[in-house]
Amino acid sequence: DTGVSQNPRHKITKRGQNVTFRCDPISEHNRLYWYRQTLGQGPEFLTYFQNEAQLEKSRLLSDRFSAERPKGSFSTLEIQRTEQGDSAMYLCASSSRRDPTNEQFFGPGTRLTVL
Amino acid sequence: ILNVEQSPQSLHVQEGDSTNFTCSFPSSNFYALHWYRWETAKSPEALFVMTLNGDEKKKGRISATLNTKEGYSYLYIKGSQPEDSATYLCAFRWAGSYQLTFGKGTKLSVIP
């Protein structure tokens, strides 16, 4: 499978705990994105990497959230001191600099439930 | 604040019916309009990316049109099948950014 993969697919945690999600983009894609979808809403942009550089960050990305892409390949999204409001589907996408339309290909997401 | 609106919110059609949905978006600073199909427990699937006013794209029974001057796009499905049941999302990309701003989606249910 050469698509975008995300792990874990589901995560249940207690309020106050830290969680980390991983995204593996399509191998030749240098751009990587994180989005979050809450119930009844469309996906909302969180952050964007070009190679290892984090170039855009949403106001939604509070100081409890941190994303990294250390070698320009996979990325991790960490949420510290989780709150119930963090419960959502976290989606990762990637795109290629060679594609002028910058079509973004999505993974299946990680569903986070904070109890 | 960018508003991307989709209508209707949900739709039930009989197998074989044709249907269409609307996506409205800001008409200024436009770069691209994306359509995705998202089935439960799967990845959102890219359907179309449209960049030019008047663009029309087609993939099998699904087609889309784009009007950037008035800020809307239509998605059409001809002869709906049960496997078309999904949430259809549109997303706007403005010039100068790589992020997508999504609508809330239209949930389509095709009744056999």
Q: Kindly state the helix (H) or strand (E) to which residue B68 belongs, with its residue range.
A: none
Tokens coding B76: 């059409």
Determine the distance in angstroms separating the CA of A3 from the nearest CA of chain B, rounded to an integer. Answer: 9
pLDDT mean across residues, chain B: 95
**Would you state the pLDDT for residue A1?**
54
- For residue A31, the chain B residues in CB contact (below 8 A) are 98
User: Which residues on neighbouring strands pair with residue B49, listed in sequence order?
Assistant: B34
**Would you state the pLDDT for residue B36?**
98
Give the closest residue to A109 by CA, choosing from A1, A2, A9: A9
pLDDT tens across B35-84, in order? 999 998 999 999 999 999 999 999 999 999 999 999 999 999 999 999 99
Q: Scan residues 34-53 of B and list those with Cβ closer than 8 Å to A.
A: 34, 36, 41-44, 46, 49, 51
**Would you state the pLDDT for residue B1?**
59
**Cβ distance B15 to B81 under 8 Å?**
yes
**Cβ distance A6 to A108 under 8 Å?**
yes
pLDDT tens-place values along chain A, 115 residues long: 579 999 999 999 999 999 999 999 999 899 999 999 999 999 999 999 999 999 999 988 889 999 999 988 999 999 999 999 999 999 999 999 999 889 999 999 999 999 9
Centroid of chain to Cα B6: 8
Q: What percent of chain B has pLDDT over 70?
A: 98
Q: How many CB atoms lie within 10 A of CB A102?
A: 18
Residue range B82-111: mean pLDDT, rounded: 96
**Cβ distance A18 to A106 under 8 Å?**
no
**Cβ distance B48 to B32 under 8 Å?**
no
CA gap B55, A78 in Å, rounded: 40
Instruction: Determine which of A70-74, A89-93, B5-9, B101-105 has the lowest per-residue pLDDT on average.
Output: A70-74
CB within 8 Å: B41 and A108: yes
B100 to chain A: closest CA residue: A45
Measure Cα distances from A51 to A31, A56, B39 in Å: 6, 13, 30
